[in-house]
Amino acid sequence: MIIIKYIFNKICKVQIIIILILVLVFLCHKAMRILKLIVIGHITKKLAIILIILKIPEIIQIIVPISIIISVFITIQYIHNNNELLVIYSCGYSKNIIYLTLLIISIFAMLLTTINSMWLVPISNRYYCQLLIDNRQNNINQLALSNLSTNIKNNDIIFNKKLNNIFLIKIKKNKYYLISTGNICNFICSKKYKLIILFNGNNYYYDLLNQNLIITKFKKYYLFFQIKNKKYNLLSNQLNLNQLIFNINNQNINELHWRYNLVLSIPLFYLLSAIILVSNIKKILGISIVIILYIFFFIIQYLLRINITSYSHMLMWLIYIFYLIIIILTRYLTEKLLL
């Protein structure tokens, strides 16, 4: 229908603009935290840009419900101020035409959010953590010896990427450091083994317990070691839908039901916004009520997500049912007020 298409286009356009604005606001906040790592030299500018981009799916996951509330408010207010709402009612349509339009939009938004929350966000979180781990390993391999003596006392290390021909042989936390410097010649023997040859260099052995530094020279130094593909256990927020379902524990169950509630909160707040805004309640008061309800919903759900117990996910659904009851009661009360 033309009316449904018109309202659909209005709300979608407004919501896209609001999502872009909110993404920029949240990205600025995330960027400030990541830029601190550039200042202290832990990451490069290129890596910082990639890390910021990888945070976009997670930000969208959080701001979609807020964008729903604001977009519905702006659209309803717009068609009301231009008497378009009155024209719709004069044509014999009831408020149900607005509810039906919002239901269609919510289903569309819910599908996109499902793809984002269940697959895109875990992938981005996984790459985000992997890039930080790889960057940390690269920093370790480029350890600067010029700062070794001062930093070991504080159990801290400063890295310098500009320093060449340094190969870190072994680091054992709180025990000793064994570092070799020299001209590096690197030969890959196979996928499982690697041979490192150093020419005309020094070995630096520092014992943290006794605080002894021993320096020895060599003409040629051989190191033959096995390459291991380092894997780390994925966190629950890095698992996609299939992985969460087939790797059952309390943390994964909480994460799975948290995502379900985020997805299903979209039609919930679409309808709640519409019910309040098309009633006789003052528009600013109505939007304030919906935003407050969403903030409480998000905070409670998030606290239940991080509170890993065997019944946290059940409480999530009880909260969702409670909000569903609020919508039904609101719909009933507004109908009574309009009669």
pLDDT, tens digit (0-9, with 9 covering 90-100), for 55-70: 999 999 889 888 888 8
> How buried is residue 93: exposed, middle or buried, by Cβ count under 10 Å (0-12/13-18/19+)?
middle
More reliable by pLDDT, 213 or 64 = 64
Residue 146 has what pLDDT? 34
- Please indicate, yes or no, whether residues 212 and 254 belong to a single structural domain of this protein: no
Q: Please check whether residues 249 and 105 belong to one and the same domain.
A: yes
- Inter-CA distances, 198 with 114, 181, 184, 195, 215, Å: 53, 8, 5, 10, 15
Is residue 133 domain-shared with residue 254, that is, in the same domain?
yes
What is the rounded CA–CA span in Å between residue 75 and residue 17? 12
Residue 231 lies in a domain: no
Q: Pick from 226, 257, 279: which residue ends a domain?
A: 226
Query: What confidence tens digit (pLDDT) does each residue in 222-261 have?
Result: 666 555 555 556 888 899 999 999 888 888 999 999 999 9
Q: Indicate whether 247 and 209 sit together in one domain.
A: no
Question: Does 243 share its domain with 116?
Answer: yes
251 and 307 both lie in a single domain: yes
pLDDT score of 113: 93
Does 315 reside within a domain? yes
- Residue 122 confidence (pLDDT) above 70: yes
Q: Is residue 246 located within the same domain as residue 222?
A: no
Burial of 257 (0-12, 13-18, 19+ CB in 10 A): buried
Q: pLDDT confidence of 143, banded at 50, 70, 90?
A: very low
Higher pLDDT: 82 or 278? It is: 82
Rounded Cα gap, residues 12 and 14, in angstroms: 5
- Indicate whether 25 and 109 sit together in one domain: yes
Q: Which helix (H) or strand (E) holds 42?
A: none
Q: Is residue 115's pLDDT more than 90?
A: yes
Predicted local distance difference test score (pLDDT) of residue 235? 83
Judge if 91 and 195 occupy the same domain.
no
Assess whether 126 and 245 both reside in one domain: yes
Whether residue 198 is found in the same domain as residue 260: no
SS3 content of the chain, % helix, strand, coil (to 5): 65, 15, 20
Domain count, the chain: 2
Q: Using the predicted structure, report yes or no on whether residue 166 has a pLDDT greater than 50.
A: yes
- Mean pLDDT across the chain: 78
Final residue belonging to a domain, choices 162, 194, 226:
226
For residues 261 and 251, give the distance between their C-alpha atoms in angstroms, rounded to a whole number.
15
pLDDT at 158: 33
Domain residue limits at 168? 143-226
In a domain, 260, yes or no: yes
- Tell me: the pLDDT tens digits for 12-36? 899 999 999 999 998 888 888 787 7
Asked if residues 306 and 236 have their Cβ atoms less than 8 Å apart, the reply is: no
